């Protein structure tokens, strides 16, 4: 029997979530962000489940290649552009759109003279991470962008983007848009060229900023970007469905006496005689070691506390609420019936971290 820790991916949840999100976009087209292996869910599940998106946004050329090999024929965007000049050959062959966010990438593009499907100029409007800023060799950059517009695009339009640092804050977004427009105009923006501002939180909280394209990420997977989502995001989460369930099984069950120590360091002492189960999952699988006392998993649909220290391969479970459980019964660590946000809060880690932290030794099952 193979080790029972597995991650179940629900294709129909993706389909539901993209349809729900599209009701919030003001008819903007959707770049569905599937970087980091679709936030740990797998590119193949995203290609099948997010078919109603107008495009996929990835980080690496290898992700784009995989999506194309799976039959995705619609646009694909490289969110950080290419990481070397030679990647432009692959980007062109795969018919990709790409972001240019610095002068080195501009130089590579002009040197290679490759034609791609589209170019997005990224503006640093206040996040101070990636993008062109005002005063940064404006005339040289403007001239380079104009050369790309006239010579190396399959369409004549340059496209423009920025990234909100606080998508749920209207004032912050407005300030960034002002900076974006000022800088873009100095770098040669032409009226009517496409723009993209909004990430997940902005789509839901500030729909007026959803212009030509939006770039939702984690909400498509049924989870929020923060540990304390605002009212609008909480309302949206009631409409979407988690896209994954992290599960394992009980592999043993036993009784311990009052005062018995549980796990490494004996950090947990049984307050009374109790039934304890052990499940085959641990921090080497991606289950967080630093969970707080009282964190629950589900056994036969009942909330049972994880007790003691999470070890590399195993967790201890207080089976008092579910004494009928036996080895072989399914344990859900998070999923459709136990929100990943609960575990994220108890471990002080973002849902992003939990999604992308599931390791390769956990088997995947797409349903």
Q: Answer whether 203's CB lies under 8 Å from 210's CB.
A: yes
Cα–Cα distance for residue pair 109/98, rounded to 1 Å: 11
Does the annotation count 189 as an active-site position?
no
Instruction: For residue 290, give the nearest of 271, 275, 266, 306 by alpha carbon.
Output: 306
**Cβ(94)–Cβ(65) under 8 Å?**
yes
Kindly give, in sequence order, each residue whose CB lies less than 8 Å from that of residue 178, ignoring residues fewer than 6 positions away. none
Report the C-alpha gap between 24 and 202 in whole angstroms: 10
Residue 109: active-site member: no
Considering 35, 114, 122, 211, which one is annotated as catalytic?
Answer: 35
DSSP string, 193-220: --EE---HHHHHH-GGG--SEE---GGG
The Cα 39–Cα 35 span in angstroms is 6
Nearest to 45 by CA among 34, 30, 29: 34
Query: How many residues does the structure list for the chain?
Result: 367
Point out the residues that are catalytic. Answer: 35, 264
């Amino acid at each position: 029997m193979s080790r029972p820790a597995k991650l179940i991916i629900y294709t129909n949840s993706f389909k539901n979530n993209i349809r729900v999100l599209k009701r919030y976009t003001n008819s903007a087209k959707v770049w569905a962000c599937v970087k980091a292996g679709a936030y740990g869910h797998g590119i193949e599940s995203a290609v099948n489940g997010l078919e109603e998106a107008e495009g996929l946004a990835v980080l690496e050329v290898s992700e784009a290649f995989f999506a194309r090999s799976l039959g995705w024929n619609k646009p694909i965007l490289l969110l950080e552009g290419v990481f070397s000049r030679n990647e432009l050959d692959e980007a062109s062959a795969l018919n990709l759109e790409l972001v240019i966010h610095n002068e080195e990438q501009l130089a590579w593009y002009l040197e290679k003279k490759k034609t791609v499907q589209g170019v997005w100029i990224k503006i640093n409007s206040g996040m101070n991470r990636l993008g062109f800023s005002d005063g940064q060799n404006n005339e040289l950059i403007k001239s380079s962008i104009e050369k790309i517009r006239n010579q190396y695009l399959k369409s004549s339009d340059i496209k423009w983007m920025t990234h909100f640092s606080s998508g749920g804050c209207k004032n912050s977004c407005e300030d960034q848009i002002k900076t974006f427009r000022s800088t873009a105009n100095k770098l040669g923006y032409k009226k009517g060229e496409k723009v993209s501002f909004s990430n997940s939180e902005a789509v839901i909280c500030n729909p007026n900023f959803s212009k030509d394209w939006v770039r939702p990420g984690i909400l498509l997977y049924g989870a929020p970007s923060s540990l304390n989502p605002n009212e609008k995001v909480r309302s949206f989460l009631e409409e979407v469905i988690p896209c994954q369930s992290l599960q394992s099984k009980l592999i043993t069950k036993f009784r311990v006496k009052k005062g018995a120590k549980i796990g490494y360091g004996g950090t947990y002492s049984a307050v009374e005689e109790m039934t304890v189960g052990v499940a085959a999952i641990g921090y080497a699988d991606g289950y967080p070691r630093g969970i707080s006392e009282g964190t629950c998993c589900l056994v036969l649909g009942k909330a049972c506390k994880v007790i003691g220290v999470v070890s590399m391969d195993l967790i201890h479970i207080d089976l008092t609420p579910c004494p009928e459980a036996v080895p072989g019964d399914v344990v859900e660590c998070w999923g459709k019936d136990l929100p990943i946000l609960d575990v994220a809060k108890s471990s002080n880690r973002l849902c992003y971290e939990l999604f992308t932290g599931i390791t390769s030794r956990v088997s995947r099952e797409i349903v």
